[in-house]
Amino acid sequence: MIDLAAARIVVTGGAGFLGQAVTRVLRARGVPAERIVVPRRREFDLTVEADVARLYESARPDVLIHLAAEVGGIGANMAHPGRFFYANMAMGLHLVEYARRHGIRKFVHTGTVCAYPKFCPVPFREDDLWNGYPEETNAPYGVAKKAIFVMLDGYRREYGLASAVAVPVNLYGPGDNFDPASSHVIPALIRKCEEARLADAPEVICWGTGAATREFLYVDDAAEGIVRAAEVMEEPLPINLGGGREIAIRDLIGMIAAACGYRGRITWDPSKPDGQPRRGLDISRAKSLLGWHPGQEFEAGLKATVDWWRAHGSA
């Protein structure tokens, strides 16, 4: 087990939604602020090899936690499949290679539930990751992130690079991305319901049929799981991090409308895709290897997210 409090840690994406939560957990573990390095894109474009080399030279990390990603909801994935594949593949490729060159103590990679096969049996088990092709709308992103699992396995076997791989389900919580062009389902629906409530609109139109299911994990719970993996794992065995509750999107929008106080109609647009039919994770590996389990009750987490948007959003 590595003592993170004594390590110098780079957190890519550390200024983002999940990254801020991870840095909070690291501080709670006793890591001094000056030992946590958060590279910003204006200084280091992690898709560019020379910038990654410069990051390692300047930061000299013992541990690198890779959270940075170019990602979004179904619409963003459909609009930018090429960019999402290239950016996520390039970041992982360069960061792992330079971790090897610099002999760092550990590389922690955050994967994605989008890596699972489209028709994976529920609950998703890590051993099923390679038993089919991902859902088409997010396959470029999911495959790029999953390819780094293989790279880390190869680098562990050939070079002895210690690493960990966490695979979180859809995240949510205060501070999430509410941009309509790139947000995931919970912030997107919160914003729709809040804007409809404020405008006294008679209906909210949602993509798909509402039949698809998703599982959600509060961002602070995800951060705890990722830091725990950094502490105890030495090899890139994928570890699911899930919230423990599968929810149909039609039920989710009802919960969000209630949390927002919106009483208008919910209308579905079946010409738009549902995405993966079902998502729900088996988290027994996280419980056994990390001693981790989700702590946030979903309705309370949803209310906290709505309250945050009302206080900080532009709706």
Are the CB atoms for 191 and 258 separated by under 8 Å? no
- Structural contact between residues 239 and 167, judged by C-beta atoms closer than 8 angstroms: yes
Residue 143: count of CB within 10 angstroms of its CB? 17
For residue 265, give the nearest of 200, 209, 220 by alpha carbon.
200
SS3 for 110? strand
Residues labelled as active-site residues:
141
Report how far residue 309's alpha carbon sits from residue 315's, in angstroms, rounded to the nearest whole number: 8
**Gap between the Cα atoms of 115 and 6, Å rounded:** 33
**Helix count (H) and strand count (E) of the chain?**
10, 11
Q: Which helix (H) or strand (E) holds 66?
A: strand 63-66
